[in-house]
Amino acid sequence: AQSVTQLDSHVSVSEGTPVLLRCNYSSSYSPSLFWYVQHPNKGLQLLLKYTSAATLVKGINGFEAEFKKSETSFHLTKPSAHMSDAAEYFCVVSDELNTGFQKLVFGTGTRLLVSP
Amino acid sequence: EAGVAQSPRYKIIEKRQSVAFWCNPISGHATLYWYQQILGQGPKLLIQFQNNGVVDDSQLPKDRFSAERLKGVDSTLKIQPAKLEDSAVYLCASSLEMGLGVYNEQFFGPGTRLTVL
């Protein structure tokens, strides 16, 4: 079974400084990986996805992530944090069911705090 | 385009009572998912439907949880009887039809926050 590990439960940054949210994955085959964001009282939103094309993936709101097979990592970055980026971020891997269909396996989440 | 709708948004019940949640997916989305998100954890898939058939329910506690998707559109998730550990946010999501090896983006509703006392 596929799994992901988010290495930090909380990350605090100042507005305007870079953001790094770390994620490592465990997979027996080439995985599909995603980052989702969850703002308070709002639904989960897809930030970006990696599906074996370019290893550097650009997402919405200036976020990007790089797939590194040698390090089994898929870290999320943003050059300059904005107050509106404060939210919970989930690293997600797609796992294949016995039926051949896909299901999402979520990490435990990283809460990003942005101070003025 | 309307998103995934869920109701109620909040529910408080006593243990051993029953509760039901409703989900209306995005129009045209064949696949519907129910997730359980316990405080401090990531969402966990409970059940996945493709149209009105169950694709996966391996993590659904079937002694107390049930779900149905009659007519392949709306879905309800029921808990009977509820336990304290069922306190969580229940998320519904939908996507275009899944295929073998094909992933389509899942769109999530706002969730129903359940508190069991």
* pLDDT tens digit sequence for A32-80: 899 999 998 778 999 999 987 788 999 999 999 999 999 999 999 999 9
Q: Has residue A100 got a pLDDT over 70? A: no
What are B95's two structure tokens? 């996507």
pLDDT above 90: percentage of residues in chain B? 78
Euclidean distance between CA atoms A30 and A34, whole angstroms: 13
Helix, coil or strand: residue B117: coil
Listed in order, strand segments (DSSP E) in B44-97 are 44-50, 53-56, 65-68, 75-79, 88-95
- Of the candidates A70, A88, A60, the residue with the CA atom closest to the CA atom of residue A24: A70
What are B107's two structure tokens? 């769109």
Q: Has residue B8 got a pLDDT over 70? A: yes
**What pLDDT does A94 receive?**
86
Contact in structure between A86 and A112 (CB atoms under 8 Å): yes
Quick: pLDDT tens for B57-105: 999 999 999 999 988 899 999 999 999 999 999 999 999 876 666 667 8
Q: Has residue B1 got a pLDDT over 70? A: no
B98 touching A (Cβ < 8 Å): yes
Instruction: Find the residue in A nearest to B4 (Cα).
Output: A43
Contact B108 A41 (CB under 8 A): no
